[in-house]
Amino acid sequence: MTSYQFPDTFRWGAATAAYQIEGAATEDGRKPSVWDTFSATPGRTLNGDTGTIACDHYHRYEADVKLMAELGIRHYRFSVSWCRVIPDGRGAVNDAGIDFYKRLVDCLRDHGITPHATLFHWDSPQALEDRYGSWRSREIAQDFADYCTAVVTRLGDRVTSWMTINEIACFTHMGYAVDHDPPHAPGTRVRRSRDVWQTSHHALLAHGLGCQAIRAASPGPCSIALVDNPAVTVPLTESPADIAAAQRALHTCGANGGILFPALTGAYSPALLEQLGEDAPIVQDGDLETIHQPIDALGLNIYTGTYVRAAENERGYEFLEFSDTYPRLNMPWLWIVPDAIYWGVRHLRETLNRPDLPVFISENGCAAPDRLTPQNEVLDTDRILYLRQYFKSVHRAVDEGYPLHGYFIWSLMDNFEWAWGYDRRFGIIYVDYSTQRRFPKASFHWYAECIRQRRVV
Ligand code: GBH
């Protein structure tokens, strides 16, 4: 019998990102990011939606923080908008932009909520896109580090938990892929696959230089994390053969071998390099040392997974397809694979040889076709079903002694879901975009009860 009880020290939180919630796109000196330009381009986002207003969190952050306090979370992960802080991408710092984050962080701390700030969640300054094609250029790594210095110098007295970059594979491999659907800003089509891998290599360099910059600028001790979305291989059965297959397959699943492997082990995965051949990125002397910076924690964004089993082929494993009726939630890729959390965490010890690296789930959640009832309720039992299974998987990892220290739900509230605009709702708070009123969903109350009892209810 297990009651799925969590230790008192386990950290419960919620996550958001700047462009998805802030709005106030032209206020207080902010200049456009690539997502402003991209979403304003006809045909790029569903219904032509943009983040110009989004959840208007820029003006409503106090009410939103009150809702967090009601939820009972003690940790909040948000992102800082580069083009609010340094509107031209490099050069002058915009104090009015910094002041917003000071107000937000002070408000969080007044409510007993610890801020966790991500320095980059996909909204690169348009000015750097115009100057050198953003992540196509190595130059962006140094500009990102200088931006980190600017933020940490000014906010480091109030924020000590930093995350450098969110999901390198997404904004690089989706933003520059030869033909990616749905599209992602900046939406540049590069010539070949190697050019795509070069953009993620530059992002890894930015992470490394960013780590150094944060440490140098922080006025006191701080924690620095990378946030990755690993493509998690889940053994079909937990037989030794399938487990070994899942471990081998981790290298070539998604972009793991070219992102998580170099960041955590200091080398691109040999299996991936072999697969890429001529398409491997160009790595200069010293790059891998820069990328392989000491970090204090790793954030994993895990929504789904990939089943793997042992096979009698050259590689020794095979990936399994999902059947048409395999359950998923309201995104084409959102198959329900709760065990992906447990295996994502476990692979760090056994497959990546980083047994002691503190880890937290920096995002997990789902989109559901939520409707407001006449009584202003959202009865998202599908989301609760999803979360309850994933929480049990979180519990298993903690219970077995893996260093999993916390969990951030994606997302605190419905928001601008990139190419899907406002059509897909990931929040546990419903946002009525016509009035900006917030309505806590049934899943909000369910999560609050889990936090109160510190167990899966
Ligand atoms: C997170 O990424 C983001 O960090 C967050 O901003 C976002 O709101 C949230 O997910 C919900 O989507 O379209 O078939 O090519 C999640 C990881 C990786 C999931 C890329 C979708 C693309 C699949 N994402 N993946 S596909």
Give tens-digit pLDDT for 99-113: 999 999 999 999 999
Q: Which of 119, 165, 172, 363 to mutate to test the pocket of ligand 1 (most atoms within 8 A of CB)?
A: 363
Predicted pLDDT at 2 = 75
Predicted pLDDT at 51 = 98
Mean pLDDT of 237-259: 98
Q: What is the pLDDT of residues 204-223, one digit of tens each?
A: 999 999 999 999 999 999 99
| Count of residues in the chain | 457
CA angle 243, 247, 248 (to 5 degrees): 120
Parallel, antiparallel, or unpaired: how do β-strands 223-228 and 161-166 relate? parallel
> How far apart, in whole angstroms, are the C-alpha atoms of residue 129 and residue 37?
10
Whether 436 and 78 have beta carbons less than 8 Å apart is answered as no
Q: What is the pLDDT of residues 401-428, one digit of tens each?
A: 999 999 999 999 999 999 999 999 999 9
Predicted pLDDT at 176 = 92
> Any residues with CB less than 8 A from the CB of 278 and at least 6 apart, and which?
194
Name the average pLDDT for the chain.
Answer: 98
User: How distant, in Å, are the alpha carbons of 317, 395, 397, 403, 439 from that of 356?
Assistant: 27, 18, 13, 7, 40
> How far apart, in whole angstroms, are the C-alpha atoms of residue 440 and residue 75?
18
Q: Would the pLDDT of 201 be above 90?
A: yes
User: Which of 22, 129, 363, 417 is an active site residue?
Assistant: 363
Residue 4 domain-assigned (yes or no): no
Residue 114 domain-assigned (yes or no): yes
Total number of domains constituting the chain: 1
Give the Å distance between the CA of 304 and the centre of ligand 1.
10
Higher-pLDDT residue of 178 and 75 is: 75
Instruction: Report residues whose beta carbon is within 6 angstroms of any ligand 1 atom.
Output: 17, 166-167, 170, 182, 229, 301, 303, 332-333, 363, 410, 417, 426
Count Cβ neighbours within 10 Å for each residue of 221-237 and write b for 16 or more, e otherwise. ebebbbbbbbbbbbbbe
Give the Å distance between the CA of 405 and the centre of ligand 1.
23
Mean pLDDT of 429-434: 98
> How far apart, in whole angstroms, are the C-alpha atoms of residue 18 and residue 25?
10
Residue 1 pLDDT grade (very low, low, confident, very high; cuts 50, 70, 90):
low
Residue 138 domain-assigned (yes or no): yes
Residue 416 domain-assigned (yes or no): yes
Q: What are phi and psi of 410, to 5 degrees?
A: -105, 110
Active site residue 417: no
Predicted pLDDT at 177 = 84
Residue 308 domain-assigned (yes or no): yes
Residue 182 pLDDT grade (very low, low, confident, very high; cuts 50, 70, 90):
confident
Please give the residue range of the domain that contains residue 275: 11-453
Q: What is the pLDDT of residues 322-352, one digit of tens each?
A: 999 999 999 999 999 999 999 999 999 999 9
Q: Would the pLDDT of 181 be above 90?
A: no
Q: Would the pLDDT of 179 be above 80?
A: no
> How far apart, in whole angstroms, are the C-alpha atoms of residue 418 and residue 410?
14
Mean pLDDT of 121-141: 98
Percentage with pLDDT > 70 across the chain: 100
Q: What 8-state DSSP symbol labels residue 378?
A: -
Residue 1 domain-assigned (yes or no): no
CATH code at position 269: 3.20.20.80
Residue 431 domain-assigned (yes or no): yes
Q: What is the pLDDT of residues 378-396, one digit of tens each?
A: 999 999 999 999 999 999 9
CA angle 432, 433, 438 (to 5 degrees): 40
Residue 204 domain-assigned (yes or no): yes
